[in-house]
């Protein structure tokens, strides 16, 4: 079904596995298209509650494919804009995805590959992994990911990474706020799975979707407008079936089954 990725489903978790090993999982148009397709397929799947993005091979993703970089030199502005919008749509899908998305990084995540890990809700990595937005070293810019990175870690730390193009260790990435936790290679799959299962079993899918949507819709708004929007989401949430179910179970001291 797919050329560049593999998908698996287990215990309400969808695993999206980058599988272009011979090219170090470098991204091209069709690769991005397949990732978007798998995510969209799971979007309305009421069984899948969490998505884990990981990779086969020793590199999570080396960024843009060399053939893509060569093509950029001869593309028209309109062609480059279409290609950029294609990647933008992937980032938007993940940022607004109505389920939790976790990056399981077991190798280097470079440029666009680092961007992919950055957009996810959570990121776990092995100690050997390195991260970097190296675009400035080839006269390019990390345009799309910059929007998310500044929000994630603040302007000063984001500039240190985006303007130098340096690679940083997993430990430094955690200190920067780029990743959530570090696990040894022998433990990362189990740790990620346990974390994903806990979310799947203990949280409302509707609440996850609404919370992610609220964050996206309000981060750029002035304080008063953001609070007004949050109040509306609060009221809408109270009327949801999940909220009614959750409150009833809490009042009855019953275990909630999500």
- 167-218: per-residue pLDDT in tens? 999 999 999 999 999 999 999 999 999 999 999 999 999 999 999 999 999 9
Asked if the model's pLDDT at residue 65 lies above 90, the reply is no
Instruction: Name beta bridge partners: 14.
Output: 9, 51
Give the pLDDT score at 154: 93
Helix (H) / strand (E) containing 256: none
How many C-beta atoms surround the C-beta of residue 89 within 10 A?
A: 13
Dihedral sign, Cα of residue 93, residue 95, residue 97, residue 101: positive
Asked if the model's pLDDT at residue 37 lies above 80, the reply is yes
Phi, psi dihedrals of residue 240, rounded to the nearest 5°? -75, 155
Give the pLDDT score at 70: 80
d(CA 120, CA 107): 16
CB 84 within 8 Å of CB 144: yes
Banded pLDDT at 51 (limits 50, 70, 90):
very high
Shortest CA distance to 13 belongs to which of 102, 115, 116? 102
CB 102 within 8 Å of CB 124: yes
Give the pLDDT score at 257: 83
Give the residue numbers annotated as catalytic, written as ranges. Answer: 135
Asked if the model's pLDDT at residue 72 lies above 80, the reply is no
Q: Using DSSP bridges, classify how beta strands 59-61 and 50-55 pair: parallel, antiparallel or unpaired.
A: unpaired
Give the pLDDT score at 67: 79
Asked if the model's pLDDT at residue 57 lies above 90, the reply is yes
3-class state of residue 8 by DSSP: strand
pTM for the whole thing? 0.94
User: In whole angstroms, how far apart are CA 79 and each of 72, 74, 112, 153, 216?
Assistant: 9, 9, 18, 32, 28
Task: Say what percent of the chain tops pLDDT 70.
Answer: 100
**Mean pLDDT (the chain, rounded):** 94
Q: Which residue has the tokens 């593999």?
A: 6
d(CA 258, CA 246): 9
The 10s digit of each residue's pLDDT in 82-130 is 989 999 999 999 999 999 999 999 999 999 999 999 999 999 999 999 9
Instruction: Name beta bridge partners: 59.
Output: 108
What 8-state DSSP symbol labels residue 100? E
Give the pLDDT score at 55: 98
Instruction: Name beta bridge partners: 95.
Output: none
Give the pLDDT score at 142: 92
d(CA 151, CA 146): 9
Provide DSSP, 74-138.
Answer: T--HHHHHHHHHHHHHHHHHHHT-SSEEEEEE-SEEETHHHHHHHHSSEEEE-TT-EEE--GGGG
Structure tokens at 56: 């086969």
């Amino acid at each position: 079904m797919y050329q560049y990725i593999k998908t698996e489903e287990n215990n309400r978790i969808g695993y999206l596995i980058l599988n272009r090993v011979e090219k170090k999982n470098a991204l091209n148009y069709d690769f991005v298209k397949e990732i978007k397709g798998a995510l969209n397929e799971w979007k309305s799947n009421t069984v899948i509650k969490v998505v884990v993005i990981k990779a086969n091979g020793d590199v999570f993703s080396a960024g843009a494919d060399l053939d893509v970089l060569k093509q950029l030199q001869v593309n028209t502005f309109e062609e480059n804009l279409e290609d950029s919008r294609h990647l933008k749509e992937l980032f938007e899908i993940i940022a607004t995805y109505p389920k939790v998305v976790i990056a399981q990084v077991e190798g280097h995540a470079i440029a666009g590959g680092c961007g992919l890990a950055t957009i996810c809700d959570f990121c776990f990595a092995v100690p050997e992994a390195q991260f970097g937005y190296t675009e400035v070293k080839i006269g390019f810019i990390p345009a799309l990911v910059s929007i998310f990175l500044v929000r994630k870690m603040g302007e000063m730390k984001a500039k240190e990474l985006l303007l130098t193009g340096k690679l940083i260790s997993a430990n430094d990435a955690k200190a920067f706020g780029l990743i959530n936790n570090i696990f040894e290679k022998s433990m990362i799959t189990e740790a990620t799975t346990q974390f994903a299962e806990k979310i799947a079993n203990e949280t409302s899918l509707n609440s996850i979707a609404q919370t992610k949507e609220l964050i996206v819709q309000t981060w750029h708004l002035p304080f008063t407008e953001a609070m007004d929007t949050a109040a509306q989401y609060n009221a809408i949430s109270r009327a949801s079936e999940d909220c009614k179910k959750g409150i009833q179970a809490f009042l009855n001291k019953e275990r909630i089954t999500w």
